[in-house]
Copies of this chain bind each other. A is one copy, B any other.
Amino acid sequence: MKIALAQFNPIVGDLTGNAHRTIEWMERAHGEGADLIVFPELSVVGYSPHDLLDNHHFIDATEAAIRLIHERVPEGMGVIVGAPIRNPNPVGKKLLNAALFLECGRPVRTTAKMLLPTYDVYDEYRYFEPAERQKVIDFKGVRLGVHICEDMWNIEEYASYHMYERKPVQELVDQGVDLLINLSASPYAHDRHGVRSGIIETLCQRHGKPFMMVNQVGANTELIFDGDSRVHSGDGRLLACAPSFQEAIVYWEFGDETSCPPLPHDRIANLHDALVLGIREYVDKTAAFDQVLIGLSGGIDSAVTAALAVEALGPDRVSGITMPSVHSSAGSVSDSEALARNLRITFHELPIKDVVGSFETILEPLFEGTPFGIAEENIQARSRGVILMAVANKFSRMVLTTGNKSELAMGYATLYGDMSGGLAVLADVFKMDVYALARYINERAGEERIPLSSIEKPPSAELRPDQKDEDSLPPYPVLDEILRRYIEERQDEEVIAMATGQSVGFVRGILDAVDRNEYKRKQAPPGLRVSVKGFGSGRRMPIVARVNRQDIERMMNELEEESRA
């Protein structure tokens, strides 16, 4: 039995488009001799449709799209697609997250997801009821253990939030299966490839059954799906795999035990490819803008953002504007110019001196006698925001913002200024990784695409004379490590202080700054998620809140003393 792994890129909500492309792919696979084609989780609607699922009409339309696909299934072929279906039980959530097994002229066979991730970016229990039982699907004498994404993740050493009671893979194996098939919509994050391999190898060791994972590819708003579909043998060896970050159909003959060489997976190369895909998909899938526009400061963040955009869209669809103020260094313009030349993108210089002066004149009656401060710094950043947005509005372009995760964490960014734009490319990339990306981009191109002076100069917002990031922030290697432990590992101040050799007071200052700037991130554009915890929908912190670490420490110490006394 020849099986096609359809590493498919659906558009969220585009039921007719997704259905027509599903039909094309199954006809192509049929033409190439496949008996069975397997699409990813929720392939008919795209992952995730979010609250579109609350719309009854959308579910009716999904049923129609499934019927359309079903009617076109070639004689003798099996097709597995992912889609929400109505829960037949009138009690509980209205939907199931299902895999549908379609054959020409036969009733649909369904199986549904048992473990529903409801943490981080996942809201599945918002919509779906967990399946009560797993059902093996018999096709041409082969017993298929079809299950969905999280159903395979219930393994102690990989559970970052909690374990589930049910063991879906075990339940399938107990019924007797010849092949485990996992339909996934599993987003990229650093080292996801390795984690998935670890899980699948563990399952192969445990059950001794061949394992196939078919994952969605493409990007939807903040989530980037890398694909990484593959087949492992019953003893865990890789038998087939798809290239990451692109659509692909990969074929595997059931029973073929020939090992296949693994594809290379380098952390920074993967990060680069993920961001390029994320930019391209955001622009092409929204289809509201054909081009992007970037404010170039001469610094490394805007340079890396522009270079990635050029790789995503080509130089003709990217343009840059540099907007020097009286506080800008000479390099601010010359490095931006050099970058634009290297990337072959359109470039303009629009100095903001006059408009800043004009704001100052208007505000003079109110500001007279007050010292230069945050208000004046922000006027500069916001004047740039107005100019960028004006050019974007005039020529139907989308602004990409350039702030990195370290800055966003600390609130070292201006709302309605440099935070203005449609997509925050580096929002989940710490500053030290931005440097690594810059070096990687130049190495890969074999030329200085990002000017060395942008990489080597000390980072600065250039909003007041001789300003440097390190005047306000700790050195980035230290800062990034503390932030990563707090945000991604959810460690508390004492553990972080111990691990990094910094004082608790110093660490507390950073953690408090992260908390205090929640309101800024609330209004940030969507950012491409590349870590296990980005600042998007996966991190839901209260805005109006008061966590006083000092008071809490005092209370806990006092109780400790009392209980000792």
Interface residues of A (CB under 8 A from B): 11-17, 19, 46, 48-52, 54-58, 60-61, 64-65, 67-68, 71, 90-94, 118-119, 123, 125-126, 161-165, 219-221, 281-282, 285-288, 348, 350-352, 354-355, 357-359, 361-363, 365-367, 370, 373-376, 378-379, 382-383, 385-387, 389-391, 393-394, 415-416, 420, 422, 490, 492-493, 516, 519, 522-526, 537, 539-548, 551-552, 554-556, 559, 562
Contacts and interface: CB of A to CB of B under 8 A. Distances in A.
A125 B526 CA distance: 24
Nearest to A165: B91
A526 B522 contact: yes
B526 A525 contact: no
Given A64-B555, A355-B359, A416-B420, A394 B382 contact: no
Given A378-B390, A525-B522, A12 B354 contact: no
Contacts of A350: 362-363, 365-366
B52 A545 contact: yes
30 contacts: A14-B545, A14-B547, A14-B548, A16-B551, A51-B540, A52-B542, A57-B492, A60-B556, A64-B559, A93-B162, A118-B125, A118-B126, A125-B125, A220-B544, A282-B544, A285-B546, A351-B362, A352-B362, A363-B394, A366-B391, A367-B390, A375-B394, A382-B416, A386-B386, A386-B416, A389-B415, A519-B525, A522-B525, A523-B523, A526-B543
B52 A541 contact: yes
Contacts of A552: 15-16, 61, 64
Contacts of A519: 286, 422, 525-526
Given A389-B382, A555-B68, A545 B366 contact: no
A165, A365, A390: most-surrounded residue (chain B CB, <10 A): A390
A16 B546 CA distance: 10
Nearest to A166: B91
A12 B545 contact: yes
A60 B386 CA distance: 46
Contacts of A126: 118-119, 123, 125, 540
Contact of A348 (B119, B220, B352, B366): B366
A540 B50 contact: yes
A323 B19 CA distance: 52
B374 A393 contact: yes
A519 B516 CA distance: 24
Contacts of A355: 355, 358-359, 362
Given A420-B415, A548-B14, A91 B163 contact: yes
A539 B394 contact: no
A123, A383, A544: most-surrounded residue (chain B CB, <10 A): A544
A359 B387 contact: yes
Contacts of A378: 389-390, 393
Given A51-B539, A286-B544, A416-B416, 12 more contacts: A17-B546, A19-B555, A50-B542, A57-B492, A65-B555, A71-B562, A220-B542, A285-B546, A286-B519, A354-B358, A363-B390, A363-B391
A223 to B, nearest CB: 9
B11 A545 contact: yes
A445 to B, nearest CB: 28
Contacts of A523: 523-525
Contact of A12 (B389, B516, B537, B542): B542
A163 B282 CA distance: 37
B375 A390 contact: yes
The 10 closest A-B pairs by CB, nearest first: A57-B492, A375-B393, A375-B394, A358-B358, A13-B545, A12-B545, A13-B547, A416-B416, A14-B546, A16-B551
A61 B119 contact: no
Contacts of A357: 358
A437 B366 CA distance: 32
A150 to B, nearest CB: 14
